Amino acid sequence: MINLALQKWRAKEPSLGTWSNLPDIHMAEMLCRQGADWICFDLQHGLMDYSDLTRLLPAITGVPVTPLVRVAANQPDQIGKALDAGAQGVIVPMVNNAADAKRAVDACRYPPQGTRSCGPMRDAMLEGMGYLATANEQVACLVMIETEEGLRNLEEIAAVEGVDGLFVGPMDLCYGLGIAPGSFTDPSFTAAIGRILEACKTNGLAAGIFGLSGEMAANSLKQGFDFASIGTDMSFIRAGVAQAMTAAKGQNKEDAPAVRGGY
């Protein structure tokens, strides 16, 4: 098992991904064929659960896109089941201190590096038990920095052995800083981002962020992030519908084609 996105992050090559909130295999297939390096299936805020994951992950098999899962909570059973279902990495929310980060790492790694229980259902079916020889090196453990406490303990979180990257939840980080969500130019927010990027650089970690748009993703990469999402399936649909509606309503009546006949 080769984690293509993780290879890029370790080489400090910029990487873009998409975010899936909807439990639709056709949407997942489409998102994975648009040039993204990775896709994240969201079990924390997405409208999906574990049973959906067992259909979504097989739907994108064979596409050179790294499947990640944002688990609902930093719990070993949730992390283990996502990995056993075929995820090549997890994004773990609400990591507030080094102990939280160590708990996430332990759940991602087989002994002696961690405490992950052996039962790689889907990967064992596809690759055989050879998966076990490479899993600890190829599974990405990404921990989220999104709270006041997490930011306060940033340096100790980043120093935890086995963490592959820090992932910023920008809206929750705004809440943690006591500023309005979306205040990405606020000095306290930009200072926090600077600290996060520096902590990643110091510890050799990948720096990632949830980008709300392609523009935000591009700006984040220029700022120093290694990877960013370009939006969610729901945001893509909303933007497409809004664009089509604006175009339709903006058409001059005299330019509109005459309606002839009908049912």
Positions annotated as catalytic residues are 45
CA distances from 64 to 39, 135, 157, 170, 174 (A): 11, 18, 31, 28, 34
Whether the CB-CB separation of 188 and 205 falls below 8 Å is answered with: no
**CA nearest 152: which of 182, 176, 131?**
176
**CA nearest 136: which of 4, 245, 1?**
1
**Which tokens go with 262?**
């009908």
Distance in angstroms (rounded) separating the CA atoms of residues 102 and 123: 24
Tell me whether strands 15-20 and 206-209 are parallel, antiparallel or unpaired: unpaired
**124 burial class (0-12, 13-18, 19+ CB within 10 angstroms)?**
middle
